[in-house]
A and B are shown apart, each in its own frame.
Chain A
Amino acid sequence: MYNLTVNNREVSVDVPGDTPLLWVLRDELRLTGTKFGCGVAQCGACTVMMDGMTRRSCVTPIEMADGAFVETIEGLDTPESQAVQAAWVANDVPQCGWCQSGQVVSATALLTEIPQPTDDDIDNAMAGNICRCATYQRIRKAIHDAASTLEG
């Protein structure tokens, strides 16, 4: 049995220790906003926040997440995440949308640490979140717009 906090809710799951956190989120907790993309930490679709840092849930065995504080796209609710999601809508960022929950989580993490990121900051933070629809220009603009919103 593994115990963790997901989106401010304490949960216990009875699964083998090598079960990926992503499987637990989607199959056990029915939080399907986080997506499976590659399974090898190369695409970023499965990104969640774990203990305040971005984390690829597809390569995180649940035994590694025991006792952790996890936030998924469903639970992100900070000024940064709200600004990012508003900018995402305003800029019509998603095309197919598969990668977007991971993109939003990473963008939120970036703005939480660097409120006014440069293009280089954005590239460095977002390079592990691949978008097969190549919405990168809209992602960049939306992050800058969210930063402007946060600046007031």
Chain B
Amino acid sequence: MKMWKVSTVALIAILSAASSGWSEEVNGLRTVDEFDGFTDETARSQALFEEMAKVIQHPRCLNCHPADNTPRQGMEMRIHEPPVVRGDSGFGAPGMRCNTCHGSENVDYVSGDGSIPGHSPWMLAPIEQAWIGKTVAEICAQIKDPERNGGRTLAELHEHNAHDGLVGWGWTPGEGRESAPGTQELFGELTNAWIEAGAACPEG
């Protein structure tokens, strides 16, 4: 009887682990050691970027990386209301720049639920860093290209992903918004591991 109980507990533990894919995730993002099983470094690097892409292609990040001149809003990535334009340097139009509404931090509405997002600076990503509508492979190639990544080396790219404040806003988006997967710390670790494994891009 006792043996049966022990076996049952073990079986439940195994089934439970199997149902979660044996994976270790933080807020929906796999940790770096989940990629230890790869024998091929290029394949490991590609897989690491695919994991990074869960963050990159989350609406919290995509909404301000449009391929046109209009930011998006919400998980459904609807057109920004009120209608606004990229303007010079991604800060909006004369007379209505981004900081007309977006302050230095998230601000809860006083007249209802939700909040207006904020950070200093608050701006669109440059058009050469547009991600909406692009494949993971295209974004990867773009992100490595100093001509299209703000002149960053891979080390600087890691620093940007791991510590930039506006990138980090994706995990502290304020009341009423879903955060990007994982944490910025984990995103930085994945970026570092991807670079150390050769910064390979997924195919396709």
Contacts and interface: CB of A to CB of B under 8 A. Distances in A.
Given A55-B100, A59-B103, A121 B111 contact: no
Given A20-B110, A127-B83, A110 B94 contact: yes
Given A59-B103, A60-B107, A124-B87, A42 B97 contact: no
B114 interface: yes
A91 B130 CA distance: 43
B135 interface: no
Contacts of A124: 84-85, 87, 93-96
A56 B93 contact: no
Contacts, number: 84
A112 B82 CA distance: 22
A44 B100 CA distance: 10
B95 A64 contact: no
Please report whether the interface of chain A is mostly helix, strand, loop or mixed according to DSSP. mixed
Contact of B103 (A38, A40, A64, A130): A64
A86 interface: no
Interface of A: 18, 20, 23, 38-42, 44, 47, 53-56, 58-61, 64, 106-107, 109-110, 113-114, 121, 124-128, 130
17 contacts: A39-B112, A40-B109, A54-B95, A54-B96, A54-B97, A54-B100, A59-B101, A61-B107, A64-B105, A106-B95, A110-B94, A124-B85, A125-B94, A125-B95, A127-B84, A128-B100, A128-B101
